Amino acid sequence: MLPFSVEFRPGEPASEQVIYAVKKALVSGQLAPGDRFPSVRVLSQELRINPNTAHKIVAALTADGVLAVQPGIGTIVAAPVTGSLVDRTALLNDELERLIVEARRLGVNEDQVLAAVRKHWRKLS
């Protein structure tokens, strides 16, 4: 059994949905630094996705610093990102831009976006 859950939605790449689910599990405490992460084979079988897609997911999470490969142990959840607050918040720029573009497309104003962010922040805290 996987330490996170994914409900696949049509129209969005499976790899992006799994990456998001893993990051959400990390911030919500379902995954913790040092936890073993499922192998590519297990991901592929459990999620019923192509092994190449599973490999792409592990590679992307490793490149993002979410996972680390430990020789003789396997893939584990990495320690939290270190560095200044500015460095860490810079990692959010793409996601923030997507949020703002989508909010403006839907006619949602800044106050409504901030209220929604606060609500979800409390939900995951």
Burial class (CB in 10 A: 0-12, 13-18, 19+), 94: exposed
**Strands of 1-125, DSSP E:** 67-70, 74-77
CATH architecture classification, 14-77? Orthogonal Bundle (1.10)
Question: What is the amino acid identity at position 30?
Answer: Q
Give the predicted TM-score (pTM) of the model: 0.72
Residue-wise pLDDT for 55-103, tens only, equals 999 999 999 889 999 999 999 999 876 554 545 676 677 788 889 999 9
Nearest CA to 78 among 37, 115, 119, 47? 37
State the average pLDDT over residues 22-42. 90
Domain locations along the chain? 14-77, 85-124
**Cβ atoms of 38 and 45 closer than 8 Å:** no
